[in-house]
Structure 1
């Protein structure tokens, strides 16, 4: 704590500008595992799209940065895991097909699916000038919930969707699925809270140890409250879903044809959610956040070690849940909503 206090004091008297990271992570696995919400369950209730370190499995404990042999992320020191629910197209005949994801055009071409990951400090355009404490080993959290209703997205401005004209489209951001076909696909955005209680690496609901002061995504947050006094990086995911394949099959009545893998059958995306498990090696992330680099300028040892797209794409996690997730399916993998509600009730009873 003394070292942390000294760092805070140093930050208060210097004019340093601290880093903001933006980088790509390819797909490391797509399977029904969730070591945060459903640790040990093989399979978990619904399908997840996962990027990051190849140590990903049903039960993950300890310092994830010291586990695994490779990562699908641009920065070779990042063995964290980042995951979201998977998007499916629901045909009018009742069958489903998984929607593939594509790389952001601000990132190197050829990344195997994946997501764009951000660790920002102030907003999208500036690094910020205050000391930011990075996540400790063993830290994990979630944002959103498959059981939340429309009020969840209204309260949390960091859960948003963008109807893409091209991969460069960023606005407007909306709080539910687009109501029309999107020429360039659909982008989902998950911004996590950035204020930590300073004590707990997790909490029973995987969210209470964090607090959100962001007015919206990629905007400067208000001061952290006394209950959660430690400012951490603003973590965010952007996932670009290649929905153009299904434009000609859009229902004639205009209803939304997309559903997430947790099984909402009402055509809404209120249950959108994401999980995070910290796994940077050593103090690599802290060194980066203390530097003055911005986005791609942080690569190639300035200060983070980076790897090629080919190296990223060569990494994968072991598949422990054997089931068909490709082609046209008669049902979503698992029994998503029923299993999730049943397991949540069991957790409350225990």
Structure 2
């Protein structure tokens, strides 16, 4: 916007000079390019814009002409005046451009210096960071080393105490061994005396070897005895197991015998009951047989009585009671018929027999006894 205002002022001051329009446009284009470059540096664009605007205002104030002067000046003078003003503006722009170039070079130099200082500062920061890291690493290594040394010192102290304890134990064991050696010193003397008294052994090692052989034999015999005892104990255990199993079997057999005895008692009781029933049945059968014999004897007596008074078949067997009763029944029926015919032939004054008495007589004749 500031550039447009400056261009408007320049065009307003040179409105009547159409011949110098191209030069003025070139100057404005150059000014626009400078301002565009200045806009790339925001911190300096506003300052340069103000300074250029102030310079143009100063030039325009120097070129103030009375309003009516243009009417009296010829066009050639006006053109020369505008060209002179344009030359002055171009000189001012060149001076400003040169000043701008100098300022830009100073700025670039300062920027390079700042970039160099920034690189130096970054390098210093990196070196300091590296120094801090190395210092931390050294400190960590020192702490780890100190901890390791402290642990090693503790372990060495514990190892020292352990070794001291072992040394004390070894010294105690050595004293005990020395005492045992002093106490057993009499045995070599005794063995030497034994060698002197016997011709069986040449030296003490041979005697000790013989003693070791005897000890081995004793150990073997003891082992055999132990095996034999174990076998005896095993056989005894088997015997106890067999006795227990036999006792269990005997107990089971006794229980079975008791059950069978109970069953036999029950069967005997049942047999006694059946025998009692059999005797009762036999007695009843004998009584019935006696009654049957009496009945048969009565029937035989009736048959014989009937046979005496009336001719009946004599070929009836004595043991055929049914045939005998049939013969007696026929005889009785005949007698009843005869009695009925006799009663019919009697006079009417003779009273009639009671039918019930006659029927009872017939029944007694048909079923005697």
TM-score normalised by the shorter chain: which range applies?
Answer: under 0.3
Larger relative strand fraction: 1
Structure number with higher relative contact order (C-alpha < 8 Å, ≥ 6 residues apart): 1
TM-score normalized by the length of structure 1: 0.14
TM-score normalized by the length of structure 2: 0.14
Larger relative helix fraction: 2
Highest Rg: 1 or 2?
Answer: 2
